[in-house]
Amino acid sequence: MTTSKGNLFDPTLITDLISKVKGNSSLAILSGQKPVAFNGQKEFTFSMDKDIDIVAENGKKTEGGVTIAPVTIVPIKVEYGARVSDEFIYATDEEKIDILKAFNDGYAKKLARGLDLMAFHGVNPRTKEVSAIIGKNSFDTSITQTVDFKQADPDSNIEDAVSAIQGSDGVVSGMAIDTQFSSALAKMRDNSNNRLFPTLAWGANPGSINGLQTDVNNTVASGSKDYAILGDFTNMFQWGFAKQIPMEVIQYGDPDNSGQDLKGYNQVYLRSETYLGWGIMDTNSFARVIKPEEA
């Protein structure tokens, strides 16, 4: 396998990367991945405003009406790089591939976590600061249906969140919950001291609760007020990669601005870049369980 500046990941590595992202990101687990155009794209939500109308013989027909709302999905460039010994350059092809696979594995996990942090909270994953590039394209900034977290009764939180979504004519297809919320659910017991949610005991991540697809992930909270996010992830949230995922092996200069020249330290720099986009199609189809405001 030849590695040089600007090479793309081998198709096998790209497939493996996408697969690993789906296994480590709550959003990737709960929603379907769809390719995103490099220059961005518009997705439209189409809804009929009224119910069907009975028309009497020779009767007058009236308009039902439709509402079409566009959501623009623009891919954002993210990158990750690392310095390795320049022995990489002199390694055999098999050893190079092993190094790239290890880098690919680590990058996929960082990319998966990054997708959640960006789309859930609107932050730059590395700095944890709010990103002006993301703007309001995140759950924390656009989802206004909220429920205050109750440590003693998190089950009622879920019911209230579901009620809010259904009250807005939405459906609930999935739920992402923080480990603290999962722990609170696991501790709930009935009058006979039996666990109400035994599949969550001891930090388990069962994949579904009461038939609702669920993922337990610490990215849900991660510096925010969120404990759980529920909604129609299947139909009302979209994410995806732009086609190219370049992988560079840089041999010269100071690509990470560390002040250390690569040649001076007998190193090369591995860098991967990804164009990643997402969009919330209908904010009323989601609700968040959040930390209550302090009195």
Domain boundaries, the chain: 11-46+70-282
216 DSSP β-pair partners: 177
274 phi/psi in degrees, rounded to 5: -140, 140
Distance CA 237, CA 78 (A): 20
Distance CA 123, CA 141 (A): 11
Using CB atoms within 10 Å of the CB of residue 152, give its burial: 0 to 12 exposed, 13 to 18 middle, 19+ buried: exposed
Look at residues 40, 206, 32, 257 and name the one whose alpha carbon lies nearest to residue 133. 40
Q: Looking at this protein, which amino acid is placed at residue 34?
A: K
pLDDT of residue 241: 85
pLDDT of residue 135: 93
pLDDT (tens digit, 0 to 9) for every residue of the chain, 295 residues total?
A: 444 445 667 777 777 777 788 778 999 999 987 767 656 665 655 566 667 666 776 666 676 665 666 677 778 999 999 898 888 888 887 787 788 888 888 888 999 999 999 999 999 999 999 999 999 999 999 999 999 999 999 999 999 999 999 999 899 999 999 999 999 999 999 999 999 999 999 999 999 999 999 999 999 999 999 999 999 999 999 998 886 777 888 999 999 999 999 999 999 998 888 889 999 999 999 999 999 987 5
pLDDT of residue 233: 97
122 phi/psi in degrees, rounded to 5: 70, 30
CB atoms within 10 A of CB 247: 22
Dihedral (CA of 91, 93, 97, 103) sign:
positive
Return the DSSP state at 69: E
Please give the class, per CATH, of domain 11-46+70-282: alpha beta
pLDDT of residue 32: 80
pTM of the model: 0.85
Q: What angle do CA 293, 294, 295 make, to 5 degrees?
A: 115
Q: Is 137 helix (H, G, I), strand (E, B) or coil?
A: coil
Residue 29 CB partners (closer than 8 Å, separation 6+): 22, 23, 213, 215
137: Cα separation from own chain's centroid? 12
Distance CA 142, CA 119 (A): 10
